[in-house]
Amino acid sequence: MPTISMKPVFAPRTRAALLRLGVHGHGLDSGSTALSDDDIAIVRTSTSRALAYPPGYEFDVHDLMREPRLVVTGWVALSRGLSDGRRQIVDIFLPGDLIAGCTPDAPVSGSYHCLTEARCCDIGDITRHADSGRASATLVANLHTMEREFQARLIECVVRLGRMLSHERLAHLALDLYRRHERVGMLIDRGFAMPLTQETVGDVLGMSTVHVSRTMQLLRKVNALVTMPGHWQVPDAGLLAEYAAGKLGRQGGREY
C-alpha cells in the first residue's frame, strides 16, 4: 500500500472544501449556509490537517465509516469491480465533496480510490463536535446537504447508464463536472482540469475507449464540449445541457 505523506494543506487549496462546508468568500457560497465564527474555527482546524494520498490509493471502507473524509484537492472515485476485470465508476468526488456512502451500518459495496493525487481531511472531529453540541446545527446541516447530493448523483448515474445514448451520457457527465467546478470557483477558461484518461472516462460512462473517443469528437464537432488533453472546455453550457437532456440528436438535430 502506498505511503501517505503528512504535509498539511493550507488555503487557497482548501477553498472548495471551506465553501462547501459553509465558510463563504470570493462571492461564492456553493449552496451551503454561512457558518458562525466558532464553526469556522472547527472547520479550518479540520481542513488544515488534510493528508495527501497518491493516485490509485484505496481507502479502507471501515476507516471511512469511522472517520469520514472530505476531498480538499484531487479526484476520488467510488467504483465497483466485476469478476472479469471490468469496473464501473459510479461517482466521482471532487474538491469540496464529502466521500459519502460510508455511513455506519450501511452495507459495504464498492471501493473508494484516488483517481489523482488527492488531499483529504478527516472530518471526524466535526461530527464529534456535532455530537457533543459544540458544532452548530448549521454545520451539521451543510454536511447532510452534501450527503444528499451524493444520493442525488447516484440516481443521476443510474439514469445516465440505464437510459442515455452515448452522446447524452458524455454531455451529462461533462455538465455535472462543469457545474460542480463552477460553484466552487474552480472553472478555468470556461472549463476545468480533466485528469482522466479515455479508458477511465469509459469506466464512468460504461463505454469502450474507442466509443468514448468518437463521442468526444462528436460533441466537439457541434461545439458543445471541447476536450483537450488535461482540460475540458464548455463553450456553451446551455447547449451542453440540451444534449444531456436528449433534446438534440447526435448530428445536432432537435429530437423534440
Binding test (CB under 8 A) with another protein, winner from 210, 223, 236, 247: 210
Site residues (CB under 8 A) for another protein, limited to 223-242: 227
Binding test (CB under 8 A) with another protein, winner from 13, 111, 209, 231: 209
127 binds another protein (CB under 8 A): no
88 binds another protein (CB under 8 A): no
Which DSSP string corresponds to 213-238?
HHHHHHHHHTTS-EEETTEEE-S-HH
Interface with another protein (CB under 8 A), residue total 15
Distance CA 98, CA 117 (A): 16
Site residues (CB under 8 A) for another protein, limited to 132-171: 165-166
Cell readout for 199 is 479508458
Report in angstroms how near the CB of residue 116 gets to another protein at its nearest: 19
The β-bridge relationship of strands 87-93 and 76-81 is: antiparallel
Report in angstroms how near the CB of residue 115 gets to another protein at its nearest: 18
Report in angstroms how near the CB of residue 165 gets to another protein at its nearest: 6
Q: Which residues of 95-121 are buried (b: 16+ CB within 10 A; e: fewer)?
A: bbbbbbbbeeeeeeebebbbbbbbbbb
249 binds another protein (CB under 8 A): yes
